[in-house]
Amino acid sequence: MIPLDHYLLLSAILFTMGALGVLIRRNALIIFMSIELMLNSANLAFVAFARSFEKASGQPLFSGQLFVFFVIAVAAAEVAIGLALIVAIFRIKHNVDVDQMSSLKG
Amino acid sequence: MEGIFTLVPLIVFLPVLGLLINIIFGGKMSEKAIGWLASAAAGATFVISVLLAYGLWSAHGEAVTVPFADWITIGNLHIPWTFRVDTLSVTMMLVVSGVGTLIHVYAIGYMHEDVRFKKDEKRYRRFFVFLNLFIAMMMILVSGDSYLMLFVGWEGVGLCSFLLIGFWYDMDTLGRPSWANSNAAKKAFITNRIGDFGFLLAGMTMFWAFGSVQFGEVFGLAEEIAAAQPGIIVAITLFMLIGVTGKSAQIPLYVWLPDAMAGPTPVSALIHAATMVTAGVYLIARSWPLYTLVPDAQYIVAMVGAVTALFAATIAVGQYDIKKVLAYSTISQLGFMVAAVGMGAFVAGMFHLVTHAFFKALLFLSAGSVILGLERGHHHLAHHNPLSAGAGGHEEHEEVFDPGDMRNMGGLRKRMPVTFWLYIIGTLALAGIFPFAGFWSKDEILLDAAKLHPEVFALLLTAAFFTAFYMGRQIWMVFFGEPRHEAAAHAEESPRVMTVPLMVLAGLSVLGGALNLPGVHTFGHWLEHTIEMVEHEAHLPAWLQISWGGLNPIVALASTVLALLAIYFSWLIYGRKPLAAGQKDPLKKPLGFIFTGMENKWFVDEGYWAVFVDRYVDIARFLADVVDWRFWHDWFHEKVIAGTYNWLSHIALNRYADQKGIDAFFNGLGELTKRASTSLRRLQNGFVRSYALAVLLGVVVILGYLVMR
Amino acid sequence: MDFTLIFFYVLAATAVATALGLLLSRNAVYAALFLVLNLATVAVFYLLLGAPFVAMAQITVYAGAIMVLFLFVIMILGAEKLPKGEVLPWQRPLAIGAAALLLVEAVYLLLQRVRLTSDLSNPGTWENSMDALRQMATLLFTDYLLPFEVTSVLLLVAMIGAIVLTKREKGEPA
Separation CA B670–CA B663 (nearest Å) = 10
β-pairing, A2-3 vs C119-120, is: antiparallel
What confidence score (pLDDT) does residue B185 get? 92
Which of A12, A52, A60 lies at the smallest CB-CB distance from C107?
Answer: A12
**How far A59 CA sits from the closest chain B CA (Å)?**
33
Given B599, B617, B644, which residue is the final one in a domain? Answer: B599
Region for residue B61 given its phi and psi (left: phi exceeds 0; alpha: psi -120 to 50; beta: otherwise): left
**pLDDT tens digits, B163-206:** 999 999 888 888 788 888 999 999 999 999 999 999 999 999 99
Q: Of B298, B270, B24, which is closest to residue B138 (Cα–Cα)?
A: B270
% of chain C beyond a pLDDT of 70: 89
Determine the CATH number of domain C1-83.
Answer: 1.20.120.1200
Same domain, B622 and B586: no
B409 located within any domain: yes
- Please check whether residue B348 is in contact with residue B444, taking contact to mean a CB–CB distance below 8 angstroms: yes
**pLDDT tens digits, B453-510:** 889 999 999 999 999 999 999 998 888 888 888 777 788 888 888 888 889 998 888 8
Interface of A with C in 12-51 (CB under 8 A): 12-21, 23-30, 32-34, 36-37, 40, 43-44, 47-51
Q: Of B339, B212, B344, which is closest to residue B290 (Cα–Cα)?
A: B344
The C-alpha angle B371, B374, B379, rounded to 5 degrees, equals 125
Separation CA B162–CA B157 (nearest Å) = 8
Beta bridge partners of C120: A2
**pLDDT tens digits, B358-409:** 999 999 999 999 998 888 888 887 777 655 444 444 454 446 778 888 888 8
- Please check whether residue B685 is in contact with residue A103, taking contact to mean a CB–CB distance below 8 angstroms: no
A79 located within any domain: yes
Phi/psi for B81 (5° steps) reads: -95, 100
Separation CA B403–CA B414 (nearest Å) = 18
What confidence score (pLDDT) does residue B357 get? 92
Question: Within B453-552, where are the H helices?
Answer: 454-479, 486-489, 496-511, 522-528, 542-545
Contact flag A23-C23 (C-beta cutoff 8 Å): no
**pLDDT tens digits, C149-161:** 999 999 999 999 9
**Does the beta carbon of B702 lie under 8 angstroms from any beta carbon of chain C?**
no
A76 located within any domain: yes
Same domain, B443 and B574: yes
- Mean of per-residue pLDDT scores for chain B: 86
What confidence score (pLDDT) does residue B534 get? 67
Domain layout of chain C by residue ranges: 1-83, 107-174
Q: To probe the interface with B, which of C82, C86, C102 has the most B CB atoms within 10 Å?
A: C102
Separation CA B483–CA C46 (nearest Å) = 163
A106 located within any domain: no
Q: In this structure, what DSSP letter does residue B254 have? A: T
Give C64's contacts (C-beta < 8 A, 6+ positions apart): none
**Does the beta carbon of C82 lie under 8 angstroms from any beta carbon of chain B?**
no
Same domain, B592 and B611: no
Same domain, B369 and B498: yes
Strands (E) across C63-123 are located at 119-120
Contact flag B696-C102 (C-beta cutoff 8 Å): yes
- Please check whether residue B177 is in contact with residue B120, taking contact to mean a CB–CB distance below 8 angstroms: no
Give B477's contacts (C-beta < 8 A, 6+ positions apart): B406, B407, B409, B410, B574, B578, B579
Q: Find the mean pLDDT for residues B654-669.
A: 80
Separation CA A105–CA B686 (nearest Å) = 4
- Nearest residue in A to C147, CA atom: A70
Domain containing residue B624? 606-708
Q: Find the mean pLDDT for residues B48-63.
A: 87
Q: Which CATH number characterizes residue A83's domain?
A: 1.10.287.3510
- Nearest residue in C to B693, CA atom: C95
- Please check whether residue B96 is in contact with residue B135, taking contact to mean a CB–CB distance below 8 angstroms: yes
What confidence score (pLDDT) does residue B574 get? 84
Separation CA B616–CA B610 (nearest Å) = 10
Q: To probe the interface with C, which of A38, A46, A72 has the most C CB atoms within 10 Å?
A: A72
**Count of structural domains, chain B:** 2
Beta bridge partners of B29: none
B632 located within any domain: yes
Contact flag C95-B700 (C-beta cutoff 8 Å): no
**pLDDT tens digits, B330-369:** 999 999 999 999 988 888 899 999 999 999 999 999 999 9
Separation CA B708–CA B416 (nearest Å) = 140
pLDDT band at B70 (very low <50, low <70, confident <90, very high): confident
**How far C99 CA sits from the closest chain A CA (Å)?**
6
% of chain C beyond a pLDDT of 90: 52
pLDDT higher than threshold 90 for residue C87: no
- Nearest residue in A to C165, CA atom: A84
**How far B648 CA sits from the closest chain A CA (Å)?**
46
Contact flag A33-C126 (C-beta cutoff 8 Å): no
Separation CA B299–CA A24 (nearest Å) = 131
Q: In this structure, what DSSP letter does residue B55 have? A: H
Q: Is residue B40 helix, strand or coil?
A: helix
Same domain, B550 and B587: yes
Give B385's contacts (C-beta < 8 A, 6+ positions apart): none
Neighbours of chain A (3+ CB pairs under 8 A): B, C
Q: Provide the CA B160 distance to its chain's centre, in angstroms.
A: 8
pLDDT higher than threshold 70 for residue C79: no
What confidence score (pLDDT) does residue B643 get? 82
A48 located within any domain: yes
Given B599, B617, B632, which residue is the final one in a domain? Answer: B599
Which of B689, B697, B707 lies at the smallest CB-CB distance from C88?
Answer: B689
Sign of the alpha-carbon dihedral angle for A18, A24, A28, A30: negative
| Measured CA distances, B520 to B523, C53, C102 (Å) | 9, 170, 149
Domain containing residue A40? 4-100
B623 located within any domain: yes
If you compute the radius of gyration of chain C from its CA atoms, what whole number of angstroms results?
21
What confidence score (pLDDT) does residue A42 get? 95
Segment among B362-371, B408-417, C10-19, C134-143 with least mean pLDDT: B408-417
**Does the beta carbon of B679 lie under 8 angstroms from any beta carbon of chain A?**
no
Contact flag B688-A23 (C-beta cutoff 8 Å): no
**How far C63 CA sits from the closest chain A CA (Å)?**
11
Contact flag A23-B693 (C-beta cutoff 8 Å): yes
A105 located within any domain: no
- Nearest residue in B to A104, CA atom: B686
Which of A23, A29, A47 lies at the smallest CB-CB distance from C28?
Answer: A29
Interface size between A and C, measured as CB pairs under 8 A: 233
| Measured CA distances, C39 to A18, B662, C36, C128 (Å) | 13, 66, 5, 20
Segment among B581-585, B686-690, C106-110 with least mean pLDDT: B581-585
A43 located within any domain: yes
Segment among B152-156, B426-430, C2-6 with least mean pLDDT: C2-6
Contact flag B683-A106 (C-beta cutoff 8 Å): yes
Longest dimension (CA), chain B: 150
